[in-house]
Chains A and B, each alone.
Chain A
Amino acid sequence: MSLRLPAADESVLARRAQIIADLSAIVPGEGVISREREMKPYDSDGVTAYKQLPLVVVLPQTTEQVSRVLKYCHAGGIRVVPRGAGTSLSGGALPLQDGVLLGMGKFNKILDIDYANRCAVVQPGVTNLGITRAVEHEGFYYAPDPSSQIACTIGGNVGENSGGVHTLKYGLTTNNVLGVEMVLITGEVIRLGGRHLDAGGLDLLAAVIGSEGLLGVVTEVTVRLLKKPDVARAVLVGFPTSEDAGDCVAKIIAAGIIPAGIEMMDRDAIAAAEAFVKVGYPLDVEALLIVELDGPEAECAHLLEEVSRIAAACNSSTLRVSRTEEERLGFWAGRKAAFPAVGRLSPDYLCMDGTIPRKQLPLVLTRMRELSARYGLRVANVFHAGDGNLHPLILYDANQPGEMDKAEAFGADILRLCVQVGGVLTGEHGVGVEKRDLMPEMFDETDLAHQQRLKCAFDDQGLLNPGKVFPTLHRCAELGRMHVSGGQVPFPDLPRF
Chain B
Amino acid sequence: MTEQVRISDEAELVAAVAAAAADGTRLSIAGRGTKQGIGRPLEVARALDLSALSGVTLYEPEELVLTARAGTPLAEITALLAQNRQMLAFEPMDTGPLFGATSGDGTLGGLFACNLSGPRRLSHGAVRDHALGIRAVSGRGEVFKSGGRVMKNVTGYDLPRMLAGSFGTLAVMSEITLKVLPVPETEETLVVFGLDPSAAARAMSAAMGSSCEVSGAATLPAEIARRRTEAPSDVSVTAFRLEGFAPSVRARRAMLVSVLMPFGAVEVLEEGASRGFWTMVRDALPFAGTGARALWRISTAPMAGPVLGRALSEALGAEAFCDWAGGLVWALMPDEAARAADVRAALAPHGGHATLLRATQAERAGAVFQPLEASLAALTARVKASFDPRAILNPGRMYAGL
Contacts and interface: CB of A to CB of B under 8 A. Distances in A.
B85 interface: yes
Contacts, number: 291
Interface stretch (A169-177, A341-349, A373-381): A169-177
Contacts of B145: 443, 447
A167 B375 contact: no
Given A199-B370, A298-B251, A457-B386, A254 B61 contact: yes
B316 to A, nearest CB: 20
A93 to B, nearest CB: 15
A171 B63 contact: no
Contacts of B153: 355, 424, 426-427
Contact of B299 (A190, A200, A297, A425): A200
B375 A198 contact: no
B301 A195 contact: yes
Given A206-B161, A443-B156, A451-B159, A184 B375 contact: yes
A188 interface: yes
B63 A457 contact: no
Count chain B CB atoms within 10 A of each CB in A116, A168, A196 and give the residue with the most: A196
Interface stretch (A1-9, A79-87, A223-231, A263-271): A223-231
A145 interface: no
Given A357-B150, A446-B144, A451-B157, A206 B162 contact: yes
B152 A384 contact: yes
A386 B145 CA distance: 25
A204 B369 contact: no
Contacts of A200: 165, 299, 353-355, 369-370
B26 interface: no
A203 interface: yes
Interface string B86-121: 000000000000000000000000000001010001
Contact of A430 (B154, B182, B369): B154
Nearest to A207: B162
A492 interface: no
Question: Which among B64, B140, B146, B370 has the highest number of chain A CB atoms within 10 Å?
Answer: B140
A19 B64 CA distance: 52
A494 interface: no
A80 to B, nearest CB: 18
Given A198-B126, A298-B248, A116 B205 contact: yes
A201 B170 CA distance: 12
A477 interface: no
Contacts of B144: 446-447, 449-450
B158 interface: yes
Q: Among B144, B181, B244, B372, find the residue whose CB has the most chain A CB atoms closer than 10 A.
A: B144
Contacts of B14: 487
B255 interface: yes
A458 B382 CA distance: 8
Interface string A257-284: 1100000000000000000000000000
Contacts of B303: 116-117
Interface string A106-122: 00000000111110000
Q: Which of A189, A423, A454 has the most CB of B within 10 A?
A: A454
Contact of B351 (A196, A211, A228): A196
A357 B154 CA distance: 15
Contacts of A296: 211, 248, 251-252, 255
Given A194-B352, A487-B143, A299 B244 contact: yes
A448 B398 CA distance: 26
Contacts of A426: 153-155
B165 A482 contact: no
Contact of B155 (A386, A425, A455): A425
Interface in B185-234: 185, 202, 205, 208-211, 213
Contacts of A449: 142, 144
A31 interface: no
Greatest chain B CB density within 10 A among A116, A184, A447 is at: A116
A424 B379 contact: no
B301 A117 contact: yes
A389 B141 contact: no
A194 B62 contact: no
Contact of B62 (A114, A254, A387): A254
Nearest to A178: B301
B141 A487 contact: yes
Given A387-B150, A447-B145, A457-B385, A201 B125 contact: no
A116 B324 CA distance: 14
A299 B159 contact: no
Interface in A446-497: 446-451, 453-458, 469, 480, 482-484, 486-487, 489
B302 A117 contact: yes
A100 interface: no
A196 B162 contact: no
B389 interface: yes
A257 B150 CA distance: 18
A199 B85 contact: no
Contact of A227 (B152, B209, B353, B380): B209
B121 A207 contact: no
A298 B387 CA distance: 51
Contacts of A483: 140
B379 A204 contact: yes
B315 interface: no
Interface in B341-382: 351-355, 369-370, 372-373, 375-376, 379-380, 382
A431 B18 contact: no
Nearest to A438: B155
Contacts of A442: 148, 155-156
Contacts of B370: 199-201
B52 interface: no
A209 B131 CA distance: 14
Interface centre among B202, B376, B389 (most CB of A within 10 A): B376
Interface string A378-402: 0000001011110000000000000
A229 B398 CA distance: 40
A355 B390 CA distance: 37
15 contacts: A161-B154, A167-B151, A194-B301, A194-B352, A200-B299, A204-B383, A298-B248, A299-B247, A299-B252, A357-B150, A388-B63, A424-B155, A442-B156, A451-B159, A453-B386
Given A450-B146, A456-B386, A457-B379, 18 more contacts: A189-B375, A190-B379, A191-B373, A198-B121, A198-B126, A200-B299, A201-B380, A256-B185, A295-B244, A296-B255, A355-B148, A355-B152, A450-B387, A454-B159, A457-B385, A458-B379, A458-B382, A484-B22
Interface of A: 114-118, 139-140, 160-161, 163, 167-168, 171-172, 174-175, 184, 188-192, 194-204, 206-207, 209-211, 227-230, 250-251, 253-254, 256-258, 295-299, 301-303, 355-359, 384, 386-389, 422-431, 435, 439, 442-443, 446-451, 453-458, 469, 480, 482-484, 486-487, 489
Question: Which 4 residue pairs spanning A and B have beta carbons closest together?
Answer: A299-B248, A256-B182, A206-B161, A298-B251
Interface of B: 14, 18, 21-22, 60-65, 85, 115, 117, 121-122, 125-126, 128-129, 138, 140-146, 148-159, 161-162, 164-166, 169-170, 181-185, 202, 205, 208-211, 213, 244-245, 247-248, 250-252, 255, 299-303, 324, 327-328, 351-355, 369-370, 372-373, 375-376, 379-380, 382-387, 389-390, 398
